[in-house]
Structure 1
Amino acid sequence: MNLLTFTIDQEAAPLRIDRYLAEQCPEFSRSYLQKLLKEQKVTADDKPVKANYKIQPGVQIQVEVPDMEVPDILPENIPLDILYEDDYLLVVNKPKGMVVHPAAGHTEGTLVNAVMAHCGDNLSGINGVLRPGIVHRIDKDTTGALVICKEDSVHRDLAEQLKEHSIKRRYRAVVQGNLKEDEGTIEGPIGRHPTDRKKMAINHKNGKPAVTHYKVLERFGQYTYIECRLETGRTHQIRVHMTSIGHPLLGDTVYGSSKNPFHLQGQTLHAMILGFLHPVTGEYMEFEAPLPDYFLKLLEKLRK
């Protein structure tokens, strides 16, 4: 067991404990912190608190982090498209249709299964047994560059870079319709959809701030090829933001039209460029994941 201790500053605002811990412990997912709160592993002056407890100046917060469980997720010899690897991390080009990490009832064929086979025991354990090595993720049908951590200290550093929005992320997408402007910025807090819990939406009441910059690369009349630059990394951010301005991603039957004229497998979205400061060497590194074949073939069709 690992015991984390924080003393609330005298000038601190009365923030909810779950939000405070999310800021103090970026290496843990919010769902994991909620789990610790439910299991009464978070105390304020030695008294267990719930997620809605508001921090008070001078109070000592303690978080009891259980020892890592032995994962029941098995390594699988699934080929990886590795863009870069050293003793501390690796950058992979995730294919379409692959889930990043296991979830309830889905523990096989994921990127985690593949990297467990590739790295053995050399994966960070910060995000628990379901997400060893995983700092950030992309959707099942989104392709492209993703960084995997082999050590906890590397994981913490990259999580902090994500929190500070200093990691460079450039995506390529094809959207429906002809964008009026050559470039623009979409701002809108993203949270759970008020009625459909499987979807995200612009949610001014319960959403988290989100900013997406886009630039037109090529126009095809009914469709537009764009680059998106993320300032924040909310779930389904590009998909939700582009839909909010009337230009859902081509193939995205969740946020766009149920019609799929090009018979695509999910949204046309690719995480093309990933850049960050190496947590150990301090060197800036940038990686480019080439566009997948389906994306190149689609562009060829649209150009004709």
Structure 2
Amino acid sequence: MEFLIDKEYEEVRLDKFLRKKLPTLPLTEIFKGIRVGKIKVNGKKSKENYRLQLNDVVKLFFKVEEDKKEDLTNTKISSLELEKIKKSIVYEDERVLIFNKGNNVVMHKGSGHEYGISEILKEYLKNPNFNFVNRIDKATSGLVIGAKSLVVTRELAEEIRERKVEKKYYILVEGRIRKKEFIIKSYLKKLEDRVVELEKYEEGAKESISFFKVLDYGKNCTLLEGTLGSGRTHQLRVQLSSMGHPIVGDIKYGKGKENFMFLFSHYLKIEKYGIEIDLPIPNEYKQRLQ
């Protein structure tokens, strides 16, 4: 038996996750399984207090009765929503589906949302094994990767972990940046409801690197292309805000009052599968630059 960790269980302790998923299994058996290596994360022994990460694979090397799951394909999704979602699919084959997520659209159910695009696509594909292998913030728009089977999910999750999937973003920031190309390297640390940038390492912080180049200028704004050298939560948003150029429309890290954040994941390359997609600059960006 194995579980693929999605956003719902990200940062949850391994032992608490197993208690939730396996209510009939005594806690002593959970701890014993972790200790002797009969429960592994990504093929390796772990500790009970390990906090699960997106796309981790938790595998049990013994039989146990699993808690009954809710049928995610039984949500009340209208045919109109399904058609709208279909138009945002930019690539699909027997293994992978690439989706162009809109601004302020949630990827998964929860936090007051009965369902997100993940649940809608499960219904559209009639495939309960469909999973997104990367995610972007609700306020961010652009390309996200979906896998149609657990095997492909594991393969792509490994490619992402090893930084073999290339992603680029169009970003409109406040102010005028004079350097045509620059790199931001810093440490990011997650607090309760936000991420902070640190100049030097401290416990809980993760090294983060981003590459930027200027594409165009508008009135009191700069259009950048950003490439991630690491994949941390809110990485581009925090680093650009800390240098005094927050993303236009970013309510959390900038002075955004708009219902639109100008951060768009436009480029994706999955060399293992021979997939390369590059979307044009959205019209909203061009209008704002003018």
TM-score for both structures, normalised by structure 2: 0.76
Equivalent residue number for residue 194 of structure 2: 199
Among 87, 90, 102, the residue aligned to 2:94: 87
Determine whether 1:284 maps to 2:238. Answer: no
1:106 alignment partner AA: H
SS of the equivalent of 1:136 reads coil
Equivalent residue number for residue 123 of structure 1: 129
Equivalent residue number for residue 120 of structure 2: 114
Report percent identity of matched pairs: 26
- 1:182-261 alignment to 2 at 5 Å? 182-193=180-191, 197-203=192-198, 204-205=201-202, 206-220=204-218, 222-258=220-256, 260=257
Q: Is the 8 A contact 2:95 2:152 kept in 1?
A: yes
SS of the equivalent of 1:44 reads helix
SS of the equivalent of 2:268 reads strand
Determine whether 1:98 maps to 2:93. Answer: no
- 1:7-156 alignment to 2 at 5 Å? 28=5, 31-32=9-10, 34-38=12-16, 39=19, 40=27, 41-42=30-31, 43-45=34-36, 50-51=48-49, 67=66, 69-73=68-72, 74=75, 76=77, 77=79, 78=81, 79-80=84-85, 81-108=88-115, 110-121=116-127, 123-124=129-130, 133-156=131-154
Q: Give 1:105 shift.
A: 3.1
Q: Is the 8 A contact 2:171 2:223 kept in 1?
A: yes
Q: Give 1:138 shift.
A: 0.8
Determine whether 1:268 maps to 2:262. Answer: yes
Q: Distance in 1 between matches of 2:265 and 2:282?
A: 11
2:14 alignment partner AA: L
Instruction: Provide the aligned length of Structure 1 versus Structure 2.
Output: 250
Q: Give 1:145 shift.
A: 0.8
Q: Give 1:75 shift.
A: 6.1
Equivalent residue number for residue 56 of structure 2: none
CA change 1:66–1:156 in 2 (3 A) is farther
Q: Is the 8 A contact 1:75 1:114 kept in 2?
A: no
Q: Distance in 2 between matches of 1:63 and 1:235?
A: 32
Q: Give 1:250 shift.
A: 0.7
Deviations 1:149-205 (A, max 9, x none): 101111111101110111110100110111131111111222213xxx221122542
Q: Distance in 2 between matches of 1:201 and 1:63?
A: 39
Q: Give 1:116 shift.
A: 1.5
SS of the equivalent of 1:215 reads strand
CA change 1:2–1:178 in 2 (3 A) is closer
Q: Which has a greater percent of helix?
A: 2
Q: Distance in 1 between matches of 2:38 and 2:98?
A: 42
Q: Distance in 1 between matches of 2:76 and 2:240?
A: 37
Q: Distance in 2 between matches of 1:122 and 1:272?
A: 27
CA change 1:199–1:33 in 2 (3 A) is closer
Equivalent residue number for residue 22 of structure 1: none
Q: Is the 8 A contact 1:2 1:66 kept in 2?
A: no
Instruction: Give unmatched runs, 5+ long, in structure 1.
Output: 4-26, 54-60, 125-132
Q: Distance in 2 between matches of 1:273 and 1:97?
A: 19
CA change 1:33–1:216 in 2 (3 A) is closer
Among 147, 159, 162, the residue aligned to 2:160: 162
Q: Distance in 2 between matches of 1:147 and 1:178?
A: 33
Deviations 1:244-303 (A, max 9, x none): 111100111210115x4xxx32321100001103xxxx442111233333223223x3xx
Q: Give 1:99 shift.
A: 0.5
List 4+ stretches of structure 1 deviating above 6 A: 61-66
TM-score for both structures, normalised by structure 1: 0.73
CA change 1:33–1:294 in 2 (3 A) is closer
Q: Is the 8 A contact 1:75 1:117 kept in 2?
A: no
Equivalent residue number for residue 24 of structure 2: none
Q: Is the 8 A contact 2:107 2:138 kept in 1?
A: yes
Q: Distance in 2 between matches of 1:241 and 1:50?
A: 33
